[in-house]
Chains A and B, each alone.
Chain A
Amino acid sequence: MSTIFFLILFPFVVALALLVLKTDAARDIIVKVASIVIAAASIYLTVQYFSSGGKYFEFESETISYLMMGIEVCLAIMIFYLGIKYKKYLASVLAAIQTPIMIWFELSIGHHIHIANNLYVDRLSIVMVLIIGIIGTLICWYSIGYMKDFQHHHHGEADRRPWFFFLMFLFLAAMFGIVVSNNLVWLYFFWEITTLCSFFLIGYTKTKEAINNSFKALIMNLFGGLGFVLAIVVLGKFYGTLELNQMLAMGMMGVSVVLPTALLAFAGITKAAQMPFNSWLLGAMVAPTPTSALLHSSTMVKAGVFLVVKLSPVLGWNIAGIMVMLVGGITFLMASFAAISQSNAKRVLAYSTVANLGLIVACGGIGTYAAVWAAIMLIIFHAVTKSLLFLCVGTAEHNIGSRDIEDMDGLFGRMPKLATFMIVGISGMFLAPLGMLISKWAAMKAFIDSGNVLLVMMIVFGSAATLFYWTKWLGKMVAIMAKRENIQQNVHKEEWLVLTSLTVLTVVICLVFPVMSSFLVVPYLETIYQSVAALALSSGNMYIMSAMLALVVLLPLLFYGKTNKRIVPIYMAGANLGDDLTFRNSMQQPTSVSLRNWYMEDYFAEKRMNIIGVIATVVVLVAAFSILLGGVL
């Protein structure tokens, strides 16, 4: 248990130190040492609890509860004040509703409920701890170099880096808290901390756009927080418990816990940026890139899907489950479509994140053994691959001055190493035999078995769109343009280290995923589901995938870029002037060529996709809660 406390408190202490120490040298060292320590502690925790199927800790402390309550009140007052200062009154209103309810509840009812186990570790927690502890710290490490460049690009503005690194490490601490809390009140506390961290990180640059978007994120997540508070109240008042495992056990024994489940799932949906709340994650793109990487890959949104996956045993074919399935499915489909129309690399990544989270949420909603397997695999693969892609785009942006995919023309000539990493990342998102495709395959099978034919159609069409938007980006990356100057020597060595590690990790986890499945994911599922059905992917297919991956890695190493053929210029509409970029037209004038991707605005205009998705999901949510409340009243 001391390791758990260490994982929560140590990043917090580091965060405070980074807030106080303002020199570059001190920050570099602290971030590096702390990252190594946190990653090592996560691995130590894994070793420590790996053999135990799941461990609950009897641990009680009034002081901690009161401390948390005190901090919550302070934070609520701060939100209230900021909301009024920036004229975002809705944020103030939400804070003024949520926290008093929570305090009232804790003092009147919550106080009398005995909590046996505040903390726990099971294999799902271990998976999350490893993701947060390794991917999260890699992103912090990357930020060292990135934020120097960032400050350089924004010179003249106040240096707020101590604040930035404070938030990054505080975020990690809160995330560790979320994945090991069994007491819902504690979970809620950490949940709200992540909301606030992301609020401040999104508003980091303090431009008008950043402030607006940060409040958008705050308000949407406060809505989710309100759902969380209501779930706690309902659970405490009608079920007499505040422990997550108790609630799940009740649900699995046949007691109907649909209302609190739906409320908690609603909180998960807002945090996982599902439609109709997806716009906060898109808005978060104004923040420095490591923030986006952290929010998208290992923290924030992963907290949302973690909660949904945690709830999956009590989802399935009930109102809460159907609500979650449909919201996830619709989000997957519409976000995949919307990604086609985007040329800004970060927005493509954001829509892809929203879509993949939709898939995870839908799997959680189905709640069968195979579906949850797919969901956990998606969480793992997505965390690694998406952080790689974000950080690649961040590095590209600082070196070519744009995050537009159209400006990445010929990146292979200018930054060959970075382009290769990006190719690995993009392929990892949608191609066999890499991770995301493997999990999507399992998800598809789970969808089919669930008997929900609408979901099947959503994944089928969404996958087709996914293929389109990733490959057209991939095409830009692989294009060979003659005579490009190599500019990649300007990249910080911290960035290379992190990018290389993530690229290797992307490939390695695909190679070892059958092992991960049988030692980590399957044992977790066995503790929850009595009847262990066959896995979505037979072990034969898993090994075929690993063999294919070996082939895909080996082929380029052996044969890539080797030719003894004569190299000739490409064909153009007139005589090629020799540089493959200009030709002589019929009027004898040189004409230059520029190539652009397809965006299919007539089909997949971002706004239209969002409107359809938001309306559809709002209808689902309203219908589900009307039915549930109708049943109660």
Chain B
Amino acid sequence: MNLATSIIGIAAYLILAPLAGGLLAGIDRKISARMQGRFGPPVLQPFYDFFKLLEKEPITVNKVQDFYVMCFLIFIVITGCFFFAGGDLLLIIFTLTLASIFLVVAAFSSNSPYAQIGAERELLQMMAYEPMVLIMAVGFYLVNGSFNISDIVTSPVMAIQYLPGIFLGFVFILTIKLRKSPFDLSMSHHAHQELVKGLTTEFSGKTMAVIEIAHWYENIFLLGFVYLFFANALAWSPVLAVVVCLATYFLEILIDNNYARMKWQIAINASWIVAITLGFVNLLILYFIS
């Protein structure tokens, strides 16, 4: 991928990702409502909520948490830019980690009981999904001989053929990353939250709006990872990849609505077992055939 396409990728991401992400959230809420036998809000409701948040009274619990939340947004956007510029997968994963740490630190800084428990749970979730995410990057590298996304999407092979186990494992931990039940331990949009709003308890108004938009940016490149399993040099593969992305997101909504929240022990046990079985075995086979 040359400089021009990289710049186009970044520009498109910066402008379109929040729109697509917000729309996805709206569709999510609509489908969830239908699954629960409700009519549901308008599809554009997330945007209405966003603008409403901006108009709230500006209050905060300390002088620093807004700074951390802003850094969270900045580094989420940078992560996405690396992704859509065709950058290095490991660089993307490490930048994403940095961004997530800023959010956790913002919650810790409030020294509020609910926010802190949310922050500790968020950390636990990160520890749960991190191995599988890294294994995914290793898998792509072994298949394509490169960590660069620009090489992966122009490769002659379709990664899913070699990485079926890793794909399933990634979809599994995507439930955590997309903050879906049963693993929405640290925070959630739903009412079944025993920790008030967990991680985000002490955020309000504009700060909350920043977190919302950051999540829209984040969700887009998370689905981008799913895209990578299917996209390659073939002309029709991007279409297939987008369809699979949407199907995956639908599956996550389905899981979200069919499971009650589980205990944190189950989240970490299940994620690590998945990483060791599906991820490790898939890697072993890759090393064996190469």
Contacts and interface: CB of A to CB of B under 8 A. Distances in A.
Contact of A556 (B67, B74, B97, B196): B67
A564 interface: yes
A475 B126 contact: no
B95 interface: yes
B62 interface: yes
B120 A597 contact: yes
A573 B113 contact: yes
A479 B280 CA distance: 38
A548 interface: yes
A541 B59 CA distance: 39
Interface in A551-567: 551, 555-556, 559-567
Given A475-B116, A478-B105, 5 more contacts: A467-B101, A467-B123, A471-B101, A479-B110, A570-B61
Given A453-B287, A460-B134, A568-B60, A559 B127 contact: no
A560 B106 CA distance: 12
Interface stretch (B31-39, B86-94, B255-263): B86-94
Contacts of B71: 555
A368 to B, nearest CB: 16
B201 A571 contact: yes
A567 B63 contact: yes
Contact of B109 (A465, A468, A479): A479
A282 B128 CA distance: 27
Contacts of B70: 559
Contact of A432 (B66, B95, B112, B202): B95
Contact of B58 (A475, A559, A565): A565
A322 to B, nearest CB: 16
A538 B110 CA distance: 39
Contact of B98 (A432, A556, A567): A432
Interface in A431-478: 431-433, 437, 441, 444-445, 448, 451, 453, 456-457, 460-461, 463-465, 467-468, 471-472, 474-476, 478
Contacts of A444: 90, 134
A566 B66 CA distance: 12
A517 B175 CA distance: 40
A564 B57 CA distance: 12
Interface residues of A, number: 57
9 contacts: A431-B101, A432-B98, A467-B127, A555-B74, A560-B67, A562-B63, A565-B66, A567-B59, A570-B110
Among B64, B66, B201, B275, residue most surrounded by chain A Cβ atoms (within 10 Å): B64
A255 interface: no
Interface in A394-452: 410, 431-433, 437, 441, 444-445, 448, 451
B233 to A, nearest CB: 22
A593 B117 CA distance: 13
B120 A480 contact: no
Contact of A480 (B58, B110, B124, B201): B110
Contacts of B131: 457, 460-461, 463-464
B74 to A, nearest CB: 7
A478 B108 contact: yes
A514 B223 CA distance: 33
B204 to A, nearest CB: 9
A598 interface: yes
A569 interface: yes
Nearest to A481: B111
Nearest to B121: A598
Nearest to B284: A453
Given A464-B130, A556-B67, A474 B105 contact: yes
B88 A541 contact: yes
Given A432-B98, A448-B138, A595-B113, A480 B67 contact: no
Contacts of B67: 555-556, 559-562
A445 B138 CA distance: 9
Contacts of A410: 111
B97 A565 contact: no
A431 B90 CA distance: 13
B111 A479 contact: yes
A568 B127 contact: no
Contacts of A597: 120
A580 interface: yes
B142 interface: yes
A273 to B, nearest CB: 25
B119 interface: yes
B116 A595 contact: yes
B133 to A, nearest CB: 9
Interface of A: 410, 431-433, 437, 441, 444-445, 448, 451, 453, 456-457, 460-461, 463-465, 467-468, 471-472, 474-476, 478-481, 538, 541, 544, 548, 551, 555-556, 559-573, 580, 593, 595, 597-598, 603
B104 interface: yes
B262 to A, nearest CB: 16
Contacts of B115: 570
Contacts of A457: 131, 135, 276, 280, 283
B114 interface: yes
B61 A437 contact: no
B50 interface: no
Contact of A472 (B82, B120, B142): B120
A562 to B, nearest CB: 7
Interface centre among B62, B74, B105, B141 (most CB of A within 10 A): B62
A49 B264 CA distance: 56
A578 B108 CA distance: 19
Contacts of A437: 94
Contacts of B63: 480, 561-563, 567
A567 B62 contact: yes
Nearest to A569: B61
Contacts of A565: 58-60, 66
B60 A548 contact: no
A571 B90 CA distance: 38
Interface string B140-179: 0110000000000000000000000000000000000000
B119 to A, nearest CB: 6
Closest 7 pairs (CB-CB, A-B)? A475-B108, A464-B130, A570-B112, A432-B94, A479-B111, A565-B58, A468-B127
Interface in B176-190: none
Contacts of A570: 61, 110-112, 115, 202
Contacts of B62: 480, 567
Contact of A568 (B61, B108, B128, B141): B61
Contacts of B138: 448, 456, 460
B78 interface: yes
A334 B273 CA distance: 17
Nearest to A477: B108
Contacts of A573: 113
A580 B112 CA distance: 8
Contacts of B276: 457
B135 A480 contact: no
A480 B109 contact: yes
B112 A572 contact: yes
Contacts of B110: 479-480, 570
B38 to A, nearest CB: 29
Contacts of A456: 135, 138, 283
Contacts of A562: 63, 67
A471 B112 contact: no
B123 A571 contact: no
A441 B111 contact: no
B275 to A, nearest CB: 8
A567 B64 contact: no
Interface in B23-63: 57-63
Contacts of A551: 74
Contacts of A559: 67, 70
Given A464-B126, A472-B120, A480 B101 contact: no
Given A453-B287, A595-B113, A548 B95 contact: yes
Given A480-B62, A570-B110, A465 B94 contact: no
Contacts of A555: 67, 71, 74
Contacts of B88: 538, 541
